[in-house]
């Protein structure tokens, strides 16, 4: 499977990894099974995926624990790039964000225990807080990197100004933020900066909560967070479905699914090194990998771009 280098590091990952928020993410998804979640991870490893993305807040804690259990039972730790994140803490029933050096150091050590490992390949500051200087937060992670506890430094959900502050000393290796064909705001300033600085960009929500997967119709209804998402409301929802139908024509000509074509389009972008689509079931892991078989022509790449620029 084709691999790509993460930023300026010595980490190499396959271009489609596993977003593990549905592995133990009981606070994010209803009726999850821990055993099915572990099967999702086992399936990913068995099919050549070597890049798994998780976070403290998935569970909380449970996703890291389940991944640690699978890595231990399979003996696949050394060949697997594990990314995790922290910034959340619970105080008096509230969820707060903390980027202080002391909190980040504490979080790394806690993640190491849950993952049953003595190093973390890629550690992200999950969200910016309101007070910590970003270069100080990253500086704390740089010290942990020098100690061998983490191998690469990431930030997530940072604005362009926060990213520049975080990267003041050139220590940031990866940025993870929302990006998909329906939400392209990072193209304006963030992606040019990450390219210039050799910072890998890893998008989340690449299928826009399923909207770009091609499974919805004008009669689809939603009871979860999508019900309040502007992409899924009224005329905007109908326009977005129309765009997906245009992609379906390209997919049909290639005997592929819409989701595969959309994921393949992202991999043609020079800014994007790897994707981490999620999966609730093992068969979804295998299906996501089919995107690697889709080869888009320059004309198809341009056509998709124009569809979603309209």
Instruction: Write the DSSP assignment of 101-168 as a string of letters.
Output: HHHHHHHHHHHHHHHT-S-EEEEEE-S--SSS-HHHHHHHHHHHHHTTSEEEEEEES--HHHHHHHTT
User: Predicted confidence band at 228 (pLDDT cuts at 50, 70, 90)?
Assistant: confident
For tokens 């029933």, name the residue: 93
Compute how many other C-beta atoms are within 10 angstroms of the C-beta atom of residue 131: 9
What does each C-alpha distance from 7 to 2, 47, 268, 271 come to in angstroms? Answer: 16, 24, 17, 11
The model carries a pTM of 0.95
Give the pLDDT score at 287: 95
Evaluate if residue 289 carries a pLDDT over 90. Answer: yes
Mean pLDDT rounded to a whole number for the chain = 96
List Cβ neighbours of 161 (8 Å cut-off, separation of 6 or more).
Answer: none
If you compute the radius of gyration of the chain from its CA atoms, what whole number of angstroms results? 19
Give the pLDDT score at 2: 83
Evaluate if residue 100 carries a pLDDT over 90. Answer: yes
Compute how many other C-beta atoms are within 10 angstroms of the C-beta atom of residue 106: 14
Give the pLDDT score at 225: 78
> What's the average model confidence in pLDDT over 24-53?
97
Choose the weakest-confidence range: 52-56, 224-228, 230-234, 269-273.
Answer: 224-228
Catalytic status, residue 193 = no
Catalytic residue among 12, 58, 204, 266: 58
User: Predicted confidence band at 297 (pLDDT cuts at 50, 70, 90)?
Assistant: very high
> What's the average model confidence in pLDDT over 179-205?
97
Give the pLDDT score at 271: 86
Segment 135-183, tens digit of pLDDT:
999 999 999 999 999 999 999 999 999 999 999 999 999 999 999 999 9
CATH fold for the domain made of 3-210+266-292: TIM Barrel (3.20.20)
Give the pLDDT score at 310: 65
Give the pLDDT score at 69: 98
How far, rounded to the nearest angstrom, does the alpha carbon of residue 232 sit from its chain's CA centroid? Answer: 21
List the beta bridge partners of residue 4: 13
Evaluate if residue 222 carries a pLDDT over 90. Answer: no
Give the pLDDT score at 226: 87
Q: How many angstroms separate the CA atoms of 77 and 265, rounded?
A: 30
Instruction: Please check whether residue 66 is in contact with residue 36, taking contact to mean a CB–CB distance below 8 angstroms.
Output: no
What's 222's DSSP letter? -
Give the pLDDT score at 80: 98
């Amino acid at each position: 499977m084709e691999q790509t280098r993460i930023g300026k590091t010595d980490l190499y990952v396959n271009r489609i990894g596993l977003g593990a928020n549905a592995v133990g993410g009981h606070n994010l998804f209803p009726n999850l099974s821990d055993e099915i979640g572990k099967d999702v991870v086992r399936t990913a490893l068995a099919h050549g995926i070597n890049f798994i993305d998780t976070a403290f807040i998935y569970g909380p804690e449970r996703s890291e624990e389940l991944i640690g259990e699978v890595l231990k039972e399979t003996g696949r730790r050394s060949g697997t790039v594990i990314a995790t994140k922290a910034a959340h803490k619970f105080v008096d029933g509230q969820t707060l964000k903390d980027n202080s050096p002391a909190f980040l150091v504490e979080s790394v050590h806690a993640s190491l225990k849950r993952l049953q490992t003595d190093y973390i390949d890629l550690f992200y500051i999950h969200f910016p807080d309101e007070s910590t200087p970003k270069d100080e937060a990253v500086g704390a992670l740089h010290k942990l990197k020098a100690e061998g506890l983490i191998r690469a430094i990431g930030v997530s959900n940072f604005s362009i100004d926060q990213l520049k502050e975080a990267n003041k000393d050139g220590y940031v290796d990866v940025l993870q933020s929302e990006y998909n064909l329906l939400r392209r705001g990072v193209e304006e300033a963030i992606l040019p900066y990450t390219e210039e600085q050799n910072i890998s960009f890893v998008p989340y929500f690449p299928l826009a909560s399923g909207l770009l997967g091609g499974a919805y119709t004008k009669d689809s209804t939603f009871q979860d967070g999508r019900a309040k998402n502007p992409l899924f409301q009224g005329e905007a929802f109908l326009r977005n479905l129309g765009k997906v139908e245009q992609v379906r024509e390209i997919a049909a000509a290639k005997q592929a699914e819409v989701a595969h074509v959309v994921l393949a389009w992202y991999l043609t972008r020079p800014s994007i090194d790897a994707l981490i689509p999620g999966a609730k079931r093992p068969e979804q892991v295998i299906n996501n990998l089919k995107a690697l078989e889709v080869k888009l022509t320059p004309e198809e790449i341009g056509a998709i771009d124009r569809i979603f620029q309209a």
